[in-house]
Amino acid sequence: MQNFETVEVTTDLLILGGGMAACGAAVEASYWAKKRGLKVTLVDKAAMDRSGAVAMGLSALNMYVGVGEGDNTPEQYVDYVRNDLMGITREDLVYDIARHVDSTVHLFEKWGLPIWKDENGKYVHEGRWQLMINGESYKVIVAEAAKNAMKAAGGEIFERVFVVEPLMDGDRVAGAVGFSVRENKFYVFKAKAVLVAMGGAVHVFRPRSVGEGLGRSWYPPFNTGSSAYFTMKAGAEMTCQEVRFIPVRFKDAYGPVGAWFLLFKSRATNALGGDYMVERRDELEKWAPYGLVKPIPANLRNWLGMLDMREGKGPIYMRTEEAIQNIAQSAGDEKAAKKKLKELEAEAWEDFLDMTISQAILWAAQNIKPEERGSEIFACEPYFIGSHSGASGAWVSGPEDVAPPEYFWGYNRMATVKGLFCAGDAAGASSHKFSDGSHCEGRIAAKAAIAFIVDNPDQPKVDPKQVEALKERILKPLALYEQHKDLSDNPDINPNY
């Protein structure tokens, strides 16, 4: 086996991940680290420009409270999340993001993200909490800001390095080890604090996609459970593993439905034309008080559709043609209606081209015109994430000013392991932060991590024997191959294959 060079990197704060939460952490950590003369290092298994759940782009920012405009309050957002998760939420964590997320959105706009505005210069809302954007390059814009901040603060970025295991010094995290996916290099990162933002877990359950689309999922397949593995191996307490996210998406290509339901005001009906949200309204009373709130919790909306499917009334269709015609007809005269129809068609296609190109390709390949006929939607397989309507992740400390005593142990977003901070999909029990909320939570966690480092300036000890044992274990598949490959690579002949 070719020798793997061991590369040692010593830093103050180690940020693991390159998605939205990690980019937020990089921006905030760089600001405070520069003031304190500290070093920040970020490690991403991909390339930051197109890394994480937003890699393909998005057509909306799903969390904007609008405090400055007087639209809503953080308390109202907490109410919304509590109802949608049917009471299973850490309100202190949700409130903390809700009171800061607007500033993150304003940063995005400052960095160049095109946010839709009406003729009066106000943001165009998809729904109460959502803003429409031209977001194909959303992640590129956010990553550029993170890289610029790191450069200005003298930070270091490692891309194409897959972090695997934590390094521990007793009950305190001391760093991490990983390997390059492009070179024969084994990395040892030593740090005073580690911020975990490596996404959720996909493909735990078999995707609903079949045939040529087999393996296609809504959440990125590259979210391989690294956050959960790392935090658990470090000894952190976890929470809400049973609160998985099962989104409804367009069948086969997993196109998003949010714009259709919220912006276009579309209905979903069964194969008989029945609207299960109307026909099964009595079912919601069984789930009071949450079944009686507005908006109806996502899991209950899914449940009503599943009941129709169980009774053989499927498939379920998104009535795109009905929604487009209704909006076009409201424009007034025939000429205005035709113009509006063209605008809606363009927006419908752009929704997919911004964030789920595969759905646009599928529509084009099958000659599907959304203004002429509806398309089938279905409930996806479950995902373990902490950022959308899922809540799985590490149990973390809340903000000192609003968290009850039992939810606070010194530093905001620190797990139950000293020096280990979590954000985005890695932080549990705080759903509905989405992309911009995850970026905001990364900022919150990074600021707290820098405070921890200032209060605990000693470099944790890393046992060389621990490092060597991890290196041997990580590279064992390669060693096993080299040892037995000459016999045969046929699994029927070689028992070591």
Residues 81-131 pLDDT 10s: 999 999 999 999 999 999 999 999 999 999 999 999 999 999 999 999 999
- N residues, the chain: 497
Domains and CATH numbers, the chain: 5-245+383-462 (3.50.50.60), 248-379 (3.90.700.10)
Buried b (16+ CB within 10 A) or exposed e, 243-266: bbbbbbbbbbbbbbbbbbbbbbeb
Binning the chain into helix, strand and coil, the percentages to the nearest 5 are: 40, 20, 45
* Identified catalytic residue from 319, 388, 432, 439: 388
Q: Which are the contacts of 330, defined by CB distance < 8 A and separation ≥ 6?
A: none
Instruction: Decide if 126 is catalytic.
Output: yes
DSSP conformation letters of 302-327: HHHHHHHHHTT-PPEEE-HHHHHHHH
Please tell me which residue, 208 or 74, carries the higher pLDDT value: 74
Instruction: Decide if 388 is catalytic.
Output: yes
Nearest to 211 by CA among 253, 250, 271: 253
Coil, helix or strand for 383?
strand
Instruction: Decide if 96 is catalytic.
Output: no
Instruction: Decide if 148 is catalytic.
Output: no
Q: In the prediction, which pLDDT does 88 show? A: 95
Range of weakest confidence among 127-131, 390-394, 483-487? 483-487
- How high is the mean pLDDT of the chain? 94
Instruction: Decide if 287 is catalytic.
Output: no
Coil, helix or strand for 231?
helix
Residue that the structure tokens 């905030």 belong to: 28
* Identified catalytic residue from 96, 126, 252, 436: 126
Please tell me which residue, 158 or 261, carries the higher pLDDT value: 158
* Identified catalytic residue from 435, 436, 441, 443: 435
When pLDDT is averaged across residues 68-83 and rounded to a whole number, the result is: 97
* Identified catalytic residue from 96, 169, 308, 351: 351
Residues 325-354 pLDDT 10s: 888 888 777 888 788 888 888 888 888 899
Instruction: Decide if 301 is catalytic.
Output: no
Instruction: Decide if 458 is catalytic.
Output: no
* Identified catalytic residue from 218, 260, 363, 395: 218
Range of weakest confidence among 22-36, 122-136, 153-167, 348-362? 348-362
* Identified catalytic residue from 82, 99, 125, 249: 249
- For residues 463 and 484, give the distance between their C-alpha atoms in angstroms, rounded to a whole number: 31
Residues 448-465 pLDDT 10s: 999 999 999 999 999 999
Q: In what order do the strands lie in the sheet with 172-180?
A: 5-10, 185-190, 172-180, 161-169
